[in-house]
Amino acid sequence: MKKIFLVLGLICGLITPAKADTVKIAALVNGEIISTEDLSNQVNIFMLNSPIPYNSETKNMIDQRVMVQTVEQKLKSQAAAKEGITVSDKEVENQMKAWAKKNKVSLSSLGKHKINRASLADNIRAEIAWVKLIRKKYYQTANLTQKEIDETIDDVIKDMSIKKYQVQEIYISRKHAKDIQSLAELLREDQRFELYAARFSEAPSAANGGNLGWINSGKMLSALEMRLSRMKPGEVSDAFLVGDGYYILKLQQVFDPAKNPDFKPNQEEIKSLLENQKMEAISKKLLQDIKQKAIIEVKQ
């Protein structure tokens, strides 16, 4: 196994707008360069329409998150290319249009937001390729069967007497959580929990806006359930430490079997849940395996 040089912390000021004649190597990922200009572009993309200010309080958290995402994007792109996954220019263009619509900008105005169109296209190409790779692995090794769907529905029906919580989470490891309480405070003012989870959470659920769906009482970490039991629907918790990281929870709904006797998830919901769980597990394991074999150097 190759020696891993994975240093994801950033020196203050590493990610700054770079002039053409001052571009430096910020990181090497299996020999491929990530420049300071690349990171500057990634910060601008990350911050587009973000309610979070880029200031002394949030800079370290944002810089760290951007570095992690940029390194992971490079690894994903490399892995997909190794598997022969291709993405057409048409696919990228269509997804860029969807991205622009979602972010309420026009592709012709990217320069005004200091976003490099090529960098954005690279991001989107890497994500499309990764999704294709995960789907390929899913259909090769973990295709969902009708039996699994039926068994899960039976289990849910049998389990209807247990209290349930519909929850969203943000998880950030201790080493990246310097400004975690500030993030919790912002989440009480801004209702777009999904946006923050997608951008900052290090949990697999980040890909789904932090949504964990319905979780049965007794099936989660006791520290999380204890916190949820004291919350009301719609409430956001403080950041609290569990093990090696901090959690911020948002309680969406509580299911009380005595008050909701007719609650029953349908087949499509169960199918979607199981497919997402399997693909998230494949994605997480594959990325972990790739990182373990990679040589990643962050320059200081």
Using 50, 70 and 90 to split pLDDT, how confident is the model at 271? confident
What is the per-residue pLDDT for 13?
Answer: 38
Distance CA 65, CA 52 (A): 13
Q: In what order do the strands lie in the sheet with 32-35?
A: 32-35, 25-29, 296-298
Yes or no: say if 281 and 11 are a contact pair by the CB < 8 Å rule. Answer: no
Distance CA 18, CA 21 (A): 8
Average pLDDT over residues 210-235: 92
pLDDT one-digit tens code per residue, 83-122: 999 999 999 999 999 999 988 899 999 999 999 999 999 9
Distance CA 224, CA 174 (A): 17
Yes or no: say if 64 and 173 are a contact pair by the CB < 8 Å rule. Answer: no
Domain annotation for the chain: domains and CATH numbers:
20-142+281-298 (1.10.4030.10), 161-263 (3.10.50.40)
Whole-model pTM over 0.75: no
Q: Is 67 exposed, middle or buried (0-12, 13-18, 19+ CB in 10 A)?
A: buried
Closest among 276, 262, 267, 256 to 152, alpha carbons compared? 267
Closest among 159, 273, 280, 168 to 224, alpha carbons compared? 168
What is the per-residue pLDDT for 260?
Answer: 66
What is the per-residue pLDDT for 90?
Answer: 96
pLDDT one-digit tens code per residue, 34-48: 998 999 899 999 988
Average pLDDT over residues 188-213: 88
